[in-house]
Amino acid sequence: MPRGSKGARLYLRQRRKREAVWVILDHGHEISTGAGEGDIGAAEKALADYIGHKRQPKFGNGHPSQVLIADVLAEYGEVHGPKTRRPDLIGAAINKLLDFFGGGTAASITRAACNAYVEWRVKQAHARYVVE
């Protein structure tokens, strides 16, 4: 039985007579991060960017039970966010929505769920304050 994929991950590639470099291994492909052995932060950022670009929202046939709230919010943030005066506020609002609704589907958004979100949100200290 073949092994399952470990998913995208960082690997320190040792090279003869040259400095080792961090690469991304993903399903048999190797992608350079451009980061040397001592620059793990840049390698981690490259991995995060790679995974972010690799993951495409899936809206299925559009049925609310098949559409993830996270996918809708990601699409909204990517398409609409840059066109606003304060994209940072859009991002902060999306983060709060994700904190509450998590991995739910669009079908889980009901009047009761929205009322519960408002109640949860206003109970937070500094509800309008963005913590980075």
Delimit the domains of the chain by residue range: 9-54, 69-122
The residues, any chain, with a CB within 8 Å of residue 79's CB and separated by 6 or more, are none
Q: Whose structure tokens read 């929202």? A: 57
Residue-level pLDDT at 93 = 87
How many residues appear in the chain?
Answer: 132
Q: Do 100 and 121 touch, CB atoms closer than 8 A?
A: yes
Q: Tell me the pLDDT of the chain (132 aa) as tens digits.
A: 566 667 888 999 998 989 999 999 988 889 999 999 999 999 998 888 888 777 677 777 888 988 989 888 888 888 888 888 888 888 888 888 998 998 899 999 999 999 999 999 988 876 555 555
Which of 17, 109, 106 lies closest to 57 in space, CA to CA?
A: 106
Q: Which two tokens stand for residue 60?
A: 């299925």
